[in-house]
Structures are given as C-alpha cells and as structure tokens.
C-alpha cells in the first residue's frame, strides 16, 4: 500500500527485455536506406519539371537581353573553341553562347551566362553584347543573394538595369549620371553590388568576344 506523499517506483524491467544493439542498428540502416530511396525517387520525378523551368528561365533571359530575336542559334564551348555541334548527353555542363538574328538574318548579339562574387554571394547574370562593337545589349540577373533593399537593386532598379544598353565594354562605374559611352551610374549604398555587375559584364565580353571572332573566322565550326 502506498501512503500519501509516497513515491511510486517503476517496476524493474525483466531480465533480457532490452533491445539488442544489432537490432537497433539494423532498424536505423533500413530506415536510412528507405529515406534515401524516397529522396532519389522524388528527385527523379521532379527533375524534368526543374529542367523545364530552368530552360524556360534561360530562354526568357536570352530573348530579353537580345531584344527578342527572330532566330536563336546555340554555340557550345568545347576546349576553347565554339562549335555548333552539341556534345550530346554532356551538353548541360558545357558553357554555351546564344546567338540572336533578326528577320534579315543579321546577327543582333550574343548572350552568355557569367558569375562572380558580389557583396554577399555569387551574382549570376545573363549578359548580352554585340561582338562586333563590344556594346552591351542588356543583362538579366539570374541569381543573387545581395542585401534586400540595397544590393538587390541590381535586379529590381529598372533605371540601373536599363542604362547598360548601348554602353561599350569595358565599362566603368560613376556615382552620378554621365553621357560617357563606357560609364554607368552605380547604386547609392550598393556600390559593391553595382561594381560586381560591371565586372561580370566586362569579364564576360573580354572572354567571349575573341571566341566569337574566332568562330566567325571559321575556327571550330
């Protein structure tokens, strides 16, 4: 009998009733394998949708920076030369240049993906430019994690984005408006992010313009 204030003591487990360690290990192994298989299955099921979305995002960005060309060609970077021939199954991991043409068949520009560090993380752009004049036709921010309200204006501030169109690389940054053909106005309070965009565009044009010129000359066709 238990009196008032007495503490009930749980009955001791009968000898030999504890779960063996090997059984616990086996259960955890099976659970981990099941979870891994489930994750892999979900990934395989959603991969086509993810790829379609990524492809649509890239396609939209290309058309935006090239002014909605009538026709687009894709060139693949194999080694250090551009070619029209797709590498096949590995094409997704190959750098590409998208070439736009107008209704008369004249080239309107080339679009390429480029990324470099910003203030917080990598800034990924789609950069459009005319390889004959090095003039920028536009850019679209594909990915960024810059400071909300400041650095992310490189994507949201239409006046900052639109001023690049027609500027000739290599670009320079300034704090005020300018009519100089190679100078753009940086964003107040987001100088690092602004200059990251300028640097990405400069490096993209410097890297890809010679490759396009070599392709035009008949190399790597």
Q: What whole-number distance in Å separates Cα of residue 193 and Cα of residue 118?
A: 5
Say if strands 172-174 and 183-185 run parallel, antiparallel, or are unpaired.
parallel
Higher pLDDT, 134 or 178: 134
Q: What is the pLDDT of residues 71-84, one digit of tens each?
A: 999 999 998 899 99
Instruction: State how far the alpha carbon of 161 is from the alpha carbons of 47, 63, 72, 91, in Å.
Output: 32, 16, 23, 30
Whether residue 33 has pLDDT greater than 70: yes
The per-residue pLDDT for range 96-116, each reduced to its tens digit, is 999 999 999 999 999 999 999
Instruction: Supply 52's token pair.
Output: 């379609």
pLDDT band for position 61 (cuts 50, 70, 90)? very high
**Element containing residue 58 per DSSP (H, E):** helix 21-65
Question: Are 167 and 135 spatial neighbours (Cβ–Cβ below 8 Å)?
Answer: yes
Which pLDDT score, from 0 to 100, does residue 57 have?
Answer: 81
Whole-structure pTM value: 0.75
The pLDDT value recorded for residue 53 is 45
| Cβ atoms within 10 Å, residue 63 | 18
């Amino acid at each position: 009998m238990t009196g008032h204030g007495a503490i009930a003591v749980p009955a001791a487990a009968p000898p030999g009733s504890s779960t063996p360690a090997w059984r616990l290990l086996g259960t955890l192994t099976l659970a981990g394998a099941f979870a891994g298989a489930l994750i892999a299955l979900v990934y395989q099921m959603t991969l086509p949708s993810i790829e379609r979305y990524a492809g649509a995002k890239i396609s939209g960005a290309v058309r935006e920076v090239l002014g909605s060309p009538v026709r687009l060609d894709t060139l693949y970077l194999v080694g250090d030369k551009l070619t029209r021939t797709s590498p096949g199954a590995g094409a997704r991991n190959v750098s590409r240049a998208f070439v736009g043409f107008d209704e008369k068949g004249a080239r309107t520009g080339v679009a390429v993906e480029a990324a470099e560090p910003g203030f917080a993380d990598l800034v990924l752009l789609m950069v459009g430019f005319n390889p004959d004049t090095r003039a920028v036709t536009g850019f679209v921010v594909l990915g960024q994690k810059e400071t909300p309200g400041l650095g992310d204006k490189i994507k949201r501030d239409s006046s900052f984005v639109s001023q690049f169109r027609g500027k000739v690389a290599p670009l320079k940054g300034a704090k005020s408006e300018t009519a100089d053909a190679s100078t753009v106005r940086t964003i107040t309070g987001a100088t690092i992010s602004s200059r990251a965009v300028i640097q990405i565009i400069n490096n993209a044009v410097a890297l890809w313009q010679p490759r396009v010129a070599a392709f035009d000359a008949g190399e790597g066709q």
